[in-house]
Protein backbone atom coordinates (compact mmCIF):
# COMPACT_ATOMS: atom_id res chain seq x y z
CA UNK A 1 0.00 0.00 0.00
CA UNK A 2 1.47 3.40 -1.03
CA UNK A 3 -0.78 5.57 1.18
CA UNK A 4 1.37 7.32 3.79
CA UNK A 5 -0.08 7.39 7.29
CA UNK A 6 2.03 10.40 8.23
CA UNK A 7 4.00 13.07 6.40
CA UNK A 8 7.57 12.15 5.42
CA UNK A 9 10.33 13.74 7.47
CA UNK A 10 12.00 16.90 6.20
CA UNK A 11 15.10 14.94 5.21
CA UNK A 12 13.12 12.87 2.72
CA UNK A 13 13.55 14.43 -0.73
CA UNK A 14 11.48 13.10 -3.62
CA UNK A 15 12.31 13.51 -7.28
CA UNK A 16 8.85 14.95 -7.84
CA UNK A 17 6.08 16.23 -5.59
CA UNK A 18 2.62 16.57 -7.18
CA UNK A 19 -0.10 18.61 -5.48
CA UNK A 20 -3.51 17.17 -6.33
CA UNK A 21 -4.93 13.64 -6.72
CA UNK A 22 -7.42 14.47 -9.46
CA UNK A 23 -7.25 13.08 -13.01
CA UNK A 24 -4.36 15.34 -14.05
CA UNK A 25 -2.27 14.83 -10.93
CA UNK A 26 -2.74 11.05 -10.83
CA UNK A 27 -2.07 10.62 -14.57
CA UNK A 28 1.09 12.71 -14.36
CA UNK A 29 2.30 11.00 -11.18
CA UNK A 30 1.80 7.49 -12.56
CA UNK A 31 3.62 8.37 -15.79
CA UNK A 32 6.49 9.97 -13.88
CA UNK A 33 6.80 6.99 -11.56
CA UNK A 34 6.85 4.61 -14.55
CA UNK A 35 9.84 6.57 -15.81
CA UNK A 36 11.80 5.82 -12.67
CA UNK A 37 11.10 8.96 -10.63
CA UNK A 38 10.34 8.77 -6.94
CA UNK A 39 7.02 10.57 -6.66
CA UNK A 40 4.88 11.93 -3.82
CA UNK A 41 1.28 12.98 -4.42
CA UNK A 42 -0.11 15.29 -1.75
CA UNK A 43 -3.87 15.75 -1.57
CA UNK A 44 -5.91 18.14 0.57
CA UNK A 45 -8.89 15.80 0.75
CA UNK A 46 -9.24 12.28 2.03
CA UNK A 47 -8.97 8.80 0.64
CA UNK A 48 -12.79 8.71 0.61
CA UNK A 49 -13.92 11.49 -1.74
CA UNK A 50 -17.46 11.36 -0.35
CA UNK A 51 -16.05 12.87 2.85
CA UNK A 52 -13.86 15.44 1.06
CA UNK A 53 -15.47 18.80 0.41
CA UNK A 54 -13.23 21.90 0.21
CA UNK A 55 -14.11 24.87 2.40
CA UNK A 56 -14.92 27.98 0.33
CA UNK A 57 -17.13 29.58 2.98
CA UNK A 58 -15.07 32.78 3.11
CA UNK A 59 -14.79 33.25 -0.67
CA UNK A 60 -17.13 35.35 -2.78
CA UNK A 61 -18.47 35.20 -6.32
CA UNK A 62 -19.11 38.77 -7.46
CA UNK A 63 -21.66 37.66 -10.07
CA UNK A 64 -23.28 34.53 -8.62
CA UNK A 65 -25.75 34.40 -11.49
CA UNK A 66 -22.87 33.56 -13.82
CA UNK A 67 -20.64 31.38 -11.64
CA UNK A 68 -21.64 28.15 -9.91
CA UNK A 69 -21.24 28.09 -6.13
CA UNK A 70 -17.65 27.13 -5.42
CA UNK A 71 -18.66 24.25 -3.18
CA UNK A 72 -20.57 22.70 -6.12
CA UNK A 73 -17.82 23.31 -8.68
CA UNK A 74 -14.82 21.87 -6.83
CA UNK A 75 -14.01 18.68 -4.98
CA UNK A 76 -11.03 17.18 -3.21
CA UNK A 77 -10.00 13.64 -2.31
CA UNK A 78 -8.93 10.70 -4.45
CA UNK A 79 -10.16 11.38 -7.99
CA UNK A 80 -10.67 15.10 -7.35
CA UNK A 81 -13.38 16.76 -9.37
CA UNK A 82 -14.15 13.55 -11.27
CA UNK A 83 -16.46 13.05 -8.28
CA UNK A 84 -18.56 15.78 -9.93
CA UNK A 85 -17.61 15.06 -13.55
CA UNK A 86 -20.00 13.72 -16.16
CA UNK A 87 -17.19 11.96 -18.04
CA UNK A 88 -17.35 13.89 -21.33
CA UNK A 89 -14.06 13.80 -23.28
CA UNK A 90 -13.46 16.19 -26.18
CA UNK A 91 -10.10 17.31 -27.57
CA UNK A 92 -8.90 20.76 -28.50
CA UNK A 93 -8.27 20.63 -32.25
CA UNK A 94 -5.65 22.18 -34.54
CA UNK A 95 -7.51 25.46 -35.13
CA UNK A 96 -7.88 26.01 -31.36
CA UNK A 97 -4.12 26.55 -31.15
CA UNK A 98 -3.97 28.97 -34.09
CA UNK A 99 -3.63 32.73 -33.83
CA UNK A 100 -7.15 34.01 -34.55
CA UNK A 101 -8.25 37.62 -35.14
CA UNK A 102 -11.46 37.03 -33.15
CA UNK A 103 -9.31 36.20 -30.07
CA UNK A 104 -6.84 39.10 -30.09
CA UNK A 105 -3.67 39.15 -28.05
CA UNK A 106 -3.51 35.38 -27.56
CA UNK A 107 -0.80 33.07 -28.84
CA UNK A 108 -0.33 29.54 -27.54
CA UNK A 109 3.39 28.81 -26.99
CA UNK A 110 2.85 25.28 -28.27
CA UNK A 111 1.15 23.83 -31.34
CA UNK A 112 -1.36 21.09 -31.99
CA UNK A 113 1.32 18.64 -33.27
CA UNK A 114 3.03 18.95 -29.88
CA UNK A 115 -0.17 17.99 -28.06
CA UNK A 116 -1.90 15.52 -30.39
CA UNK A 117 0.43 12.55 -29.74
CA UNK A 118 -0.55 12.60 -26.06
CA UNK A 119 -4.30 12.20 -26.60
CA UNK A 120 -4.13 8.40 -26.88
CA UNK A 121 -2.44 8.01 -23.49
CA UNK A 122 -4.82 10.62 -22.04
CA UNK A 123 -7.81 8.64 -23.34
CA UNK A 124 -6.51 5.57 -21.51
CA UNK A 125 -6.11 7.56 -18.30
CA UNK A 126 -9.68 8.88 -18.35
CA UNK A 127 -11.02 5.53 -19.55
CA UNK A 128 -12.91 6.76 -22.61
CA UNK A 129 -11.88 3.95 -24.94
CA UNK A 130 -9.68 5.49 -27.61
CA UNK A 131 -8.48 8.78 -29.02
CA UNK A 132 -10.73 8.66 -32.09
CA UNK A 133 -12.54 11.99 -32.05
CA UNK A 134 -13.26 12.37 -35.74
CA UNK A 135 -15.47 9.85 -37.52
CA UNK A 136 -16.89 10.19 -41.04
CA UNK A 137 -20.55 9.47 -41.48
CA UNK A 138 -21.05 5.77 -42.28
CA UNK A 139 -21.53 4.63 -45.85
CA UNK A 140 -25.25 4.01 -45.26
CA UNK A 141 -25.80 7.69 -44.47
CA UNK A 142 -27.73 9.28 -47.31
CA UNK A 143 -29.73 12.39 -48.03
CA UNK A 144 -29.75 15.74 -46.19
CA UNK A 145 -27.38 14.70 -43.39
CA UNK A 146 -24.57 14.43 -45.95
CA UNK A 147 -25.31 17.80 -47.58
CA UNK A 148 -24.23 20.12 -44.76
CA UNK A 149 -21.49 22.41 -46.07
CA UNK A 150 -20.58 24.87 -43.30
CA UNK A 151 -21.20 22.62 -40.32
CA UNK A 152 -19.70 19.21 -39.61
CA UNK A 153 -21.10 16.03 -38.09
CA UNK A 154 -17.75 14.26 -37.96
CA UNK A 155 -16.61 15.35 -34.51
CA UNK A 156 -17.52 12.92 -31.74
CA UNK A 157 -17.41 13.27 -28.01
CA UNK A 158 -16.44 10.23 -25.99
CA UNK A 159 -17.50 9.40 -22.44
CA UNK A 160 -15.58 7.67 -19.66
CA UNK A 161 -16.82 4.19 -18.83
CA UNK A 162 -17.24 5.32 -15.22
CA UNK A 163 -16.57 9.05 -14.70
CA UNK A 164 -15.46 9.08 -11.08
CA UNK A 165 -12.26 7.19 -12.04
CA UNK A 166 -11.97 5.64 -8.57
CA UNK A 167 -12.15 2.15 -10.05
CA UNK A 168 -9.55 2.88 -12.73
CA UNK A 169 -7.03 5.68 -12.23
CA UNK A 170 -7.50 5.86 -8.47
CA UNK A 171 -6.98 2.14 -8.00
CA UNK A 172 -3.88 2.20 -10.21
CA UNK A 173 -2.38 4.88 -7.98
CA UNK A 174 -3.23 2.98 -4.78
CA UNK A 175 -1.69 -0.20 -6.17
CA UNK A 176 1.50 1.46 -7.40
CA UNK A 177 4.28 0.51 -4.96
CA UNK A 178 6.65 3.24 -6.11
CA UNK A 179 4.14 6.03 -5.71
CA UNK A 180 3.49 7.62 -2.30
CA UNK A 181 0.15 9.30 -1.59
CA UNK A 182 -0.41 11.62 1.34
CA UNK A 183 -4.04 12.56 2.02
CA UNK A 184 -5.65 15.13 4.34
CA UNK A 185 -2.71 17.45 3.72
CA UNK A 186 -3.48 21.02 2.72
CA UNK A 187 -0.66 22.94 1.06
CA UNK A 188 -0.61 26.45 2.53
CA UNK A 189 2.56 28.12 1.25
CA UNK A 190 5.53 27.88 -1.08
CA UNK A 191 9.03 27.84 0.45
CA UNK A 192 11.58 29.50 -1.86
CA UNK A 193 15.36 29.26 -2.00
CA UNK A 194 17.30 32.26 -0.62
CA UNK A 195 17.85 33.64 -4.13
CA UNK A 196 14.16 33.18 -5.01
CA UNK A 197 14.92 31.18 -8.15
CA UNK A 198 13.80 27.76 -6.95
CA UNK A 199 11.12 26.17 -4.84
CA UNK A 200 12.58 24.24 -1.91
CA UNK A 201 9.43 22.86 -0.31
CA UNK A 202 5.67 22.97 0.03
CA UNK A 203 4.58 24.06 3.48
CA UNK A 204 1.49 22.11 4.47
CA UNK A 205 -0.76 21.10 7.34
CA UNK A 206 -1.09 17.34 7.66
CA UNK A 207 -3.71 16.23 10.17
CA UNK A 208 -2.94 19.10 12.52
CA UNK A 209 0.84 18.99 12.03
CA UNK A 210 2.84 21.58 10.09
CA UNK A 211 5.24 19.93 7.64
CA UNK A 212 7.51 20.82 4.74
CA UNK A 213 7.45 18.52 1.71
CA UNK A 214 10.70 18.53 -0.27
CA UNK A 215 11.45 17.47 -3.83
CA UNK A 216 13.72 18.22 -6.76
CA UNK A 217 10.71 19.44 -8.76
CA UNK A 218 7.12 20.35 -7.94
CA UNK A 219 3.90 20.26 -9.97
CA UNK A 220 0.72 22.06 -8.89
CA UNK A 221 -1.99 19.86 -10.35
CA UNK A 222 -4.91 20.77 -8.16
CA UNK A 223 -8.05 22.52 -9.34
CA UNK A 224 -7.52 25.85 -11.09
CA UNK A 225 -8.94 27.94 -8.26
CA UNK A 226 -6.89 26.12 -5.63
CA UNK A 227 -3.67 26.51 -7.62
CA UNK A 228 -4.40 30.17 -8.28
CA UNK A 229 -5.11 30.82 -4.60
CA UNK A 230 -1.78 29.28 -3.58
CA UNK A 231 0.14 31.44 -6.08
CA UNK A 232 -1.76 34.57 -5.09
CA UNK A 233 -0.81 33.97 -1.45
CA UNK A 234 2.83 33.58 -2.48
CA UNK A 235 2.62 36.77 -4.53
CA UNK A 236 1.21 38.67 -1.55
CA UNK A 237 4.48 37.98 0.26
CA UNK A 238 6.71 38.47 -2.79
CA UNK A 239 4.95 41.03 -5.04
CA UNK A 240 7.41 40.65 -7.92
CA UNK A 241 6.37 37.02 -8.51
CA UNK A 242 4.28 35.95 -11.49
CA UNK A 243 4.37 39.29 -13.27
CA UNK A 244 3.46 41.37 -10.24
CA UNK A 245 0.04 42.27 -8.76
CA UNK A 246 -1.21 43.70 -12.07
CA UNK A 247 0.28 40.85 -14.11
CA UNK A 248 -1.42 37.79 -15.62
CA UNK A 249 -1.94 35.72 -12.46
CA UNK A 250 -5.64 35.31 -11.75
CA UNK A 251 -6.73 37.11 -14.93
CA UNK A 252 -8.44 35.85 -18.11
CA UNK A 253 -10.67 33.51 -16.09
CA UNK A 254 -12.76 31.54 -18.57
CA UNK A 255 -15.10 28.62 -18.89
CA UNK A 256 -17.79 28.21 -21.52
CA UNK A 257 -21.06 29.84 -22.42
CA UNK A 258 -23.81 27.27 -22.73
CA UNK A 259 -27.56 26.93 -22.80
CA UNK A 260 -30.47 26.42 -25.17
CA UNK A 261 -32.37 29.15 -27.02
CA UNK A 262 -33.83 27.11 -29.87
CA UNK A 263 -35.28 23.75 -30.87
CA UNK A 264 -33.95 21.63 -33.72
CA UNK A 265 -36.76 20.43 -35.97
CA UNK A 266 -35.67 17.59 -38.26
CA UNK A 267 -37.41 17.25 -41.61
CA UNK A 268 -37.03 13.48 -41.40
CA UNK A 269 -37.43 12.43 -37.73
CA UNK A 270 -35.38 9.28 -38.25
CA UNK A 271 -32.27 11.43 -38.82
CA UNK A 272 -32.07 11.82 -35.04
CA UNK A 273 -30.05 8.60 -35.03
CA UNK A 274 -27.00 10.57 -36.20
CA UNK A 275 -27.25 12.86 -33.15
CA UNK A 276 -28.04 10.37 -30.38
CA UNK A 277 -25.78 8.40 -28.06
CA UNK A 278 -24.37 5.12 -29.33
CA UNK A 279 -21.83 2.51 -28.21
CA UNK A 280 -18.65 2.07 -30.21
CA UNK A 281 -16.30 -0.88 -30.58
CA UNK A 282 -14.47 0.10 -27.35
CA UNK A 283 -17.72 -0.22 -25.43
CA UNK A 284 -17.84 3.44 -24.50
CA UNK A 285 -20.62 5.84 -25.39
CA UNK A 286 -20.05 8.40 -28.13
CA UNK A 287 -22.14 11.16 -29.68
CA UNK A 288 -21.75 13.34 -32.76
CA UNK A 289 -21.69 17.11 -32.37
CA UNK A 290 -22.65 19.75 -34.92
CA UNK A 291 -19.66 22.09 -35.18
CA UNK A 292 -18.86 25.01 -37.52
CA UNK A 293 -16.00 24.14 -39.84
CA UNK A 294 -12.66 25.85 -39.18
CA UNK A 295 -13.10 27.68 -42.49
CA UNK A 296 -16.46 29.09 -41.37
CA UNK A 297 -15.01 30.13 -38.02
CA UNK A 298 -12.21 32.01 -39.77
CA UNK A 299 -14.47 33.62 -42.36
CA UNK A 300 -17.14 34.72 -39.88
CA UNK A 301 -14.92 35.42 -36.87
CA UNK A 302 -16.83 32.90 -34.77
CA UNK A 303 -15.68 31.60 -31.44
CA UNK A 304 -15.54 27.81 -31.44
CA UNK A 305 -18.98 26.32 -30.79
CA UNK A 306 -20.64 22.91 -30.68
CA UNK A 307 -24.28 21.90 -30.75
CA UNK A 308 -26.02 18.73 -29.58
CA UNK A 309 -29.61 17.68 -28.96
CA UNK A 310 -31.35 17.16 -25.64
CA UNK A 311 -34.75 16.71 -24.07
CA UNK A 312 -36.86 19.74 -23.18
CA UNK A 313 -36.31 20.94 -19.59
CA UNK A 314 -37.47 18.32 -17.11
CA UNK A 315 -39.08 20.94 -14.88
CA UNK A 316 -41.45 22.28 -17.59
CA UNK A 317 -44.59 20.09 -17.36
CA UNK A 318 -45.75 21.51 -20.72
CA UNK A 319 -43.61 18.81 -22.39
CA UNK A 320 -46.44 16.41 -21.33
CA UNK A 321 -43.95 13.53 -21.28
CA UNK A 322 -44.54 11.04 -18.42
CA UNK A 323 -40.93 9.90 -18.30
CA UNK A 324 -39.48 13.41 -18.08
CA UNK A 325 -41.96 14.26 -15.32
CA UNK A 326 -41.03 11.07 -13.41
CA UNK A 327 -37.34 11.94 -13.68
CA UNK A 328 -38.08 15.49 -12.51
CA UNK A 329 -39.94 14.26 -9.44
CA UNK A 330 -37.16 11.84 -8.54
CA UNK A 331 -34.53 14.57 -8.80
CA UNK A 332 -36.65 17.14 -6.98
CA UNK A 333 -36.79 14.90 -3.89
CA UNK A 334 -33.38 15.94 -2.61
CA UNK A 335 -32.29 12.74 -0.75
CA UNK A 336 -33.02 10.73 -3.91
CA UNK A 337 -31.78 13.23 -6.47
CA UNK A 338 -28.45 13.77 -4.73
CA UNK A 339 -27.71 10.06 -4.97
CA UNK A 340 -28.39 10.09 -8.70
CA UNK A 341 -26.52 13.15 -10.01
CA UNK A 342 -24.11 15.83 -8.83
CA UNK A 343 -25.89 18.58 -6.93
CA UNK A 344 -25.21 21.27 -9.53
CA UNK A 345 -26.74 19.09 -12.25
CA UNK A 346 -29.72 18.24 -10.03
CA UNK A 347 -30.46 21.92 -9.41
CA UNK A 348 -30.21 22.65 -13.13
CA UNK A 349 -32.71 19.92 -14.01
CA UNK A 350 -35.31 20.72 -11.34
CA UNK A 351 -35.34 24.43 -12.14
CA UNK A 352 -36.65 27.25 -9.96
CA UNK A 353 -39.41 27.00 -7.39
CA UNK A 354 -42.36 26.69 -7.15
CA UNK A 355 -42.37 23.10 -8.43
CA UNK A 356 -45.50 22.10 -10.33
CA UNK A 357 -46.01 18.73 -8.69
CA UNK A 358 -49.65 18.33 -9.75
CA UNK A 359 -48.98 19.00 -13.44
CA UNK A 360 -46.09 16.53 -13.42
CA UNK A 361 -48.25 13.98 -11.62
CA UNK A 362 -50.93 14.31 -14.32
CA UNK A 363 -48.31 13.75 -17.01
CA UNK A 364 -47.29 10.50 -15.35
CA UNK A 365 -50.91 9.44 -14.82
CA UNK A 366 -51.58 9.62 -18.57
CA UNK A 367 -49.06 6.83 -19.33
CA UNK A 368 -47.71 5.42 -16.05
CA UNK A 369 -46.42 2.18 -17.57
CA UNK A 370 -44.43 4.10 -20.19
CA UNK A 371 -42.83 6.18 -17.45
CA UNK A 372 -42.05 3.11 -15.33
CA UNK A 373 -40.42 1.19 -18.18
CA UNK A 374 -38.37 4.18 -19.30
CA UNK A 375 -37.16 4.98 -15.79
CA UNK A 376 -36.14 1.35 -15.20
CA UNK A 377 -34.20 1.41 -18.47
CA UNK A 378 -32.49 4.70 -17.56
CA UNK A 379 -31.48 3.42 -14.12
CA UNK A 380 -30.20 0.14 -15.55
CA UNK A 381 -28.03 1.79 -18.21
CA UNK A 382 -26.80 4.63 -16.04
CA UNK A 383 -26.29 3.09 -12.61
CA UNK A 384 -26.34 -0.70 -12.91
CA UNK A 385 -24.09 -1.09 -15.95
CA UNK A 386 -20.30 -1.40 -16.02
CA UNK A 387 -20.40 1.32 -18.70
CA UNK A 388 -22.35 4.33 -17.52
CA UNK A 389 -24.70 5.82 -20.10
CA UNK A 390 -24.15 9.59 -19.83
CA UNK A 391 -27.68 10.67 -20.64
CA UNK A 392 -30.82 9.86 -22.57
CA UNK A 393 -32.80 11.50 -25.34
CA UNK A 394 -36.45 10.50 -25.70
CA UNK A 395 -37.25 10.34 -29.39
CA UNK A 396 -40.48 11.82 -30.71
CA UNK A 397 -42.46 11.49 -33.92
CA UNK A 398 -42.19 15.21 -34.66
CA UNK A 399 -38.39 15.15 -34.73
CA UNK A 400 -38.19 18.18 -32.42
CA UNK A 401 -35.48 18.46 -29.78
CA UNK A 402 -33.89 21.06 -27.55
CA UNK A 403 -30.67 22.29 -29.18
CA UNK A 404 -27.87 22.86 -26.66
CA UNK A 405 -24.88 25.05 -27.48
CA UNK A 406 -21.50 24.78 -25.77
CA UNK A 407 -19.31 27.65 -26.88
CA UNK A 408 -15.95 29.27 -26.34
CA UNK A 409 -15.66 32.23 -23.97
CA UNK A 410 -13.35 35.08 -24.91
CA UNK A 411 -10.39 35.61 -22.50
CA UNK A 412 -10.66 39.03 -20.85
CA UNK A 413 -8.33 40.50 -18.20
CA UNK A 414 -11.24 41.83 -16.12
CA UNK A 415 -12.58 38.31 -15.61
CA UNK A 416 -10.39 37.77 -12.61
CA UNK A 417 -9.66 35.90 -9.39
CA UNK A 418 -8.04 37.88 -6.55
CA UNK A 419 -7.35 37.42 -2.86
CA UNK A 420 -10.07 38.73 -0.61
CA UNK A 421 -8.08 38.67 2.64
CA UNK A 422 -4.94 37.36 4.31
CA UNK A 423 -6.65 34.09 5.14
CA UNK A 424 -6.56 33.20 1.46
CA UNK A 425 -10.27 33.53 0.65
CA UNK A 426 -10.97 34.41 -2.98
CA UNK A 427 -12.91 37.11 -4.75
CA UNK A 428 -14.10 35.61 -8.03
CA UNK A 429 -15.23 38.13 -10.65
CA UNK A 430 -16.22 35.88 -13.56
CA UNK A 431 -17.36 37.93 -16.57
CA UNK A 432 -18.98 37.21 -19.91
CA UNK A 433 -18.46 39.68 -22.75
CA UNK A 434 -20.82 40.89 -25.53
CA UNK A 435 -18.63 39.02 -28.04
CA UNK A 436 -19.49 35.72 -26.31
CA UNK A 437 -23.21 36.33 -26.78
CA UNK A 438 -22.88 37.70 -30.32
CA UNK A 439 -20.91 34.66 -31.46
CA UNK A 440 -23.53 32.29 -30.05
CA UNK A 441 -26.33 34.12 -31.90
CA UNK A 442 -24.44 34.20 -35.21
CA UNK A 443 -23.55 30.52 -34.90
CA UNK A 444 -27.26 29.71 -34.53
CA UNK A 445 -28.18 31.79 -37.59
CA UNK A 446 -25.48 30.13 -39.69
CA UNK A 447 -26.52 26.66 -38.52
CA UNK A 448 -30.16 27.38 -39.35
CA UNK A 449 -29.14 28.48 -42.85
CA UNK A 450 -27.04 25.34 -43.40
CA UNK A 451 -29.79 23.03 -42.10
CA UNK A 452 -32.36 24.58 -44.42
CA UNK A 453 -30.02 24.55 -47.44
CA UNK A 454 -29.28 20.86 -46.86
CA UNK A 455 -32.94 20.00 -46.37
CA UNK A 456 -32.12 18.50 -42.98
CA UNK A 457 -34.35 20.73 -40.86
CA UNK A 458 -34.49 24.14 -39.23
CA UNK A 459 -34.36 25.95 -35.90
CA UNK A 460 -37.32 27.28 -33.94
CA UNK A 461 -36.28 29.93 -31.42
CA UNK A 462 -37.76 30.14 -27.96
CA UNK A 463 -38.00 33.96 -28.08
CA UNK A 464 -38.31 36.74 -30.66
CA UNK A 465 -35.11 38.01 -32.25
CA UNK A 466 -34.99 41.16 -30.12
CA UNK A 467 -34.94 39.06 -26.91
CA UNK A 468 -32.44 36.37 -27.91
CA UNK A 469 -29.29 38.09 -26.70
CA UNK A 470 -30.86 38.51 -23.27
CA UNK A 471 -31.91 34.84 -23.36
CA UNK A 472 -28.28 33.77 -23.97
CA UNK A 473 -26.99 36.06 -21.22
CA UNK A 474 -29.58 34.81 -18.72
CA UNK A 475 -28.32 31.24 -19.12
CA UNK A 476 -24.61 32.12 -19.18
CA UNK A 477 -23.21 30.21 -16.21
CA UNK A 478 -20.06 28.20 -15.64
CA UNK A 479 -17.40 27.82 -12.97
CA UNK A 480 -16.96 24.09 -13.52
CA UNK A 481 -14.50 24.54 -16.40
CA UNK A 482 -11.88 26.71 -14.72
CA UNK A 483 -9.53 28.02 -17.40
CA UNK A 484 -6.93 30.73 -17.93
CA UNK A 485 -5.93 32.03 -14.50
CA UNK A 486 -2.31 30.79 -14.83
CA UNK A 487 -2.19 30.78 -18.60
CA UNK A 488 0.87 29.87 -20.63
CA UNK A 489 2.85 32.31 -22.72
CA UNK A 490 6.40 32.65 -24.03
CA UNK A 491 6.28 36.20 -22.62
CA UNK A 492 6.43 36.33 -18.78
CA UNK A 493 4.40 39.55 -18.80
CA UNK A 494 1.54 37.77 -20.57
CA UNK A 495 1.46 34.41 -18.83
CA UNK A 496 2.39 32.55 -15.66
CA UNK A 497 3.96 29.45 -17.26
CA UNK A 498 5.89 28.76 -20.45
CA UNK A 499 5.21 26.16 -23.13
CA UNK A 500 6.66 23.41 -20.91
CA UNK A 501 4.33 24.50 -18.08
CA UNK A 502 7.25 25.78 -16.00
CA UNK A 503 6.44 28.85 -13.92
CA UNK A 504 8.35 31.84 -15.27
CA UNK A 505 11.25 32.78 -13.01
CA UNK A 506 11.37 29.48 -11.09
CA UNK A 507 13.56 26.57 -12.17
CA UNK A 508 11.57 23.69 -10.69
CA UNK A 509 7.91 24.70 -10.28
CA UNK A 510 5.33 23.61 -12.86
CA UNK A 511 1.56 23.80 -13.22
CA UNK A 512 -0.57 21.06 -14.77
CA UNK A 513 -4.16 22.29 -14.81
CA UNK A 514 -6.81 23.70 -17.13
CA UNK A 515 -5.76 27.04 -15.64
CA UNK A 516 -2.78 27.09 -18.07
CA UNK A 517 -4.96 27.12 -21.21
CA UNK A 518 -4.78 30.31 -23.29
CA UNK A 519 -8.30 29.87 -24.69
CA UNK A 520 -11.26 27.72 -23.73
CA UNK A 521 -12.26 26.31 -27.12
CA UNK A 522 -15.60 24.54 -27.27
CA UNK A 523 -14.21 21.40 -25.64
CA UNK A 524 -14.52 20.32 -22.05
CA UNK A 525 -11.03 20.81 -20.56
CA UNK A 526 -10.29 17.48 -18.84
CA UNK A 527 -8.84 15.57 -21.79
CA UNK A 528 -6.42 18.33 -22.82
CA UNK A 529 -5.38 18.94 -19.21
CA UNK A 530 -4.51 15.26 -18.80
CA UNK A 531 -2.66 15.22 -22.14
CA UNK A 532 -0.59 18.24 -21.09
CA UNK A 533 0.10 16.57 -17.74
CA UNK A 534 1.43 13.45 -19.49
CA UNK A 535 3.56 15.60 -21.78
CA UNK A 536 4.96 17.34 -18.69
CA UNK A 537 5.72 13.97 -17.03
CA UNK A 538 7.81 13.03 -20.06
CA UNK A 539 9.63 16.37 -19.93
CA UNK A 540 10.35 16.02 -16.21
CA UNK A 541 11.63 12.46 -16.62
CA UNK A 542 14.18 13.73 -19.11
CA UNK A 543 14.91 16.88 -17.14
CA UNK A 544 15.60 14.96 -13.95
CA UNK A 545 17.83 12.39 -15.60
CA UNK A 546 15.54 9.51 -16.51
CA UNK A 547 14.08 8.31 -19.81
CA UNK A 548 10.41 7.44 -20.01
CA UNK A 549 9.72 3.80 -20.64
CA UNK A 550 7.82 2.99 -23.84
Tell me the C-alpha distance between 136 and 288, whole Å.
10
> What number is the average pLDDT over the span 109-116?
96
Task: State which of 460, 475, 490 marks the end of a domain.
Answer: 475
Same domain, residue pair 205 and 283: no
* 209-220 vs 509-511, strand pairing mode: parallel
> What number is the average pLDDT over the span 460-486?
97
Q: What percent of the chain has pLDDT over 90?
A: 84
Confidence of residue 549 (pLDDT cuts 50, 70, 90): very low
Domain containing residue 152: 143-157+255-410+434-475
User: Does the residue 494 lie in any domain?
Assistant: yes
How far CA 502 is from CA of 147, 203, 323, 492, 494, in Å, comes to 46, 20, 51, 11, 14
Contacts of residues 193-199 at CB distance under 8 Å and 24 or more positions apart, as own/partner, are: 196/238, 196/505, 197/505, 197/506, 197/507, 198/506, 198/507, 198/508, 198/509, 199/506, 199/508, 199/509
Cβ neighbours around 273 below 10 Å, total:
12
Cβ neighbours around 279 below 10 Å, total:
12
pLDDT attached to residue 178: 84
pLDDT attached to residue 546: 63
Question: Residue 437: helix, strand or coil by DSSP?
Answer: helix
User: Does the residue 85 lie in any domain?
Assistant: yes
Tell me the C-alpha distance between 144 and 151, whole Å.
12
User: Does the residue 301 lie in any domain?
Assistant: yes
Same domain, residue pair 488 and 519: yes
Same domain, residue pair 396 and 520: no
Q: Which of 37-51, 201-215, 229-243 has the lowest mean pLDDT?
A: 37-51
Same domain, residue pair 221 and 259: no
Same domain, residue pair 205 and 309: no
Same domain, residue pair 514 and 469: no
Element (H, E) at 179: strand 179-182
> What number is the average pLDDT over the span 113-137?
96
User: Does the residue 7 lie in any domain?
Assistant: no
Q: For the residues of 93-143, what is the DSSP string, one character each?
A: -GGGGS--TTSTT---SS-HHHHGGGHHHHHHHHT-S-S--B-PPPTT--G
pLDDT attached to residue 370: 94
Residue 539 has pLDDT above 80, yes or no: yes
Q: What percent of the chain has pLDDT over 70?
A: 98
Confidence of residue 1 (pLDDT cuts 50, 70, 90): very low
Q: Are 257 and 440 in contact (CB under 8 A)?
A: yes
Same domain, residue pair 367 and 491: no
Cβ neighbours around 210 below 10 Å, total:
10
Residue 92 has pLDDT above 80, yes or no: yes
- Provide the number of structural domains found in the chain: 2
Same domain, residue pair 205 and 225: yes
pLDDT attached to residue 168: 80
Same domain, residue pair 315 and 460: yes
Task: State which of 475, 508, 526 marks the end of a domain.
Answer: 475
Same domain, residue pair 222 and 89: yes
Give me the sign of the Cα torsion angle 491, 492, 495, 499: positive
Q: Which residues pair with 429 in a beta bridge?
A: 416
> What number is the average pLDDT over the span 267-284?
94
Same domain, residue pair 207 and 287: no
pLDDT attached to residue 166: 57
pLDDT attached to residue 142: 85
Confidence of residue 262 (pLDDT cuts 50, 70, 90): very high
pLDDT digits (tens, 9 = 90+) for 162-214: 887 756 888 899 999 889 999 999 999 999 999 999 999 999 999 889 999 99
Confidence of residue 550 (pLDDT cuts 50, 70, 90): very low
CATH number at 193 reads 3.50.50.60
User: Does the residue 1 lie in any domain?
Assistant: no
User: Does the residue 422 lie in any domain?
Assistant: no
- What's the whole-number average pLDDT of the chain? 94
Task: State which of 420, 451, 475 marks the end of a domain.
Answer: 475
Residue 440 has pLDDT above 80, yes or no: yes
User: Does the residue 134 lie in any domain?
Assistant: no
The upper half-sphere exposure of residue 28, i.e. CA atoms within 13 Å in the direction of its Cβ, equals 35
- Residues with Cβ within 8 Å of 63's Cβ and at least 6 positions away in sequence, in order, are 429, 430, 431
Tell me the C-alpha distance between 420 and 107, whole Å.
30
User: Does the residue 66 lie in any domain?
Assistant: no
Give me the sign of the Cα torsion angle 173, 175, 179, 185: positive
pLDDT attached to residue 5: 85
Same domain, residue pair 22 and 97: yes
In 221-283, beta strands by DSSP E: 256-266, 278-279
Amino acid sequence: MSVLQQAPGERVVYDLCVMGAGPVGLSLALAAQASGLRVLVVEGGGLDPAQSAPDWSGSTCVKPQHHAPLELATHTGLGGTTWLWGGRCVPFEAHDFEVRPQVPGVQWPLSWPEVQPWYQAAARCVDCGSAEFRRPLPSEARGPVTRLTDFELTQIERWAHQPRLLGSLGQQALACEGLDLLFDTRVEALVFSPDGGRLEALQAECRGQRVELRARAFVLAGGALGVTRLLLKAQAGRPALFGGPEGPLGRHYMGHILGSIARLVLKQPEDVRWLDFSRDSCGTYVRRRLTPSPALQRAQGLLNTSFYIDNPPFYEPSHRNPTLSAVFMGLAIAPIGRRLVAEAMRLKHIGPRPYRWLAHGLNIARRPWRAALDVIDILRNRYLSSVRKPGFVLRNAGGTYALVYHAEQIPHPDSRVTLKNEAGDLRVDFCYQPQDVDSVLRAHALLDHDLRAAGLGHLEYERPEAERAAHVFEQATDGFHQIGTTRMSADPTQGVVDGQLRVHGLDNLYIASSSVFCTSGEANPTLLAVALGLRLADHLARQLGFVQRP
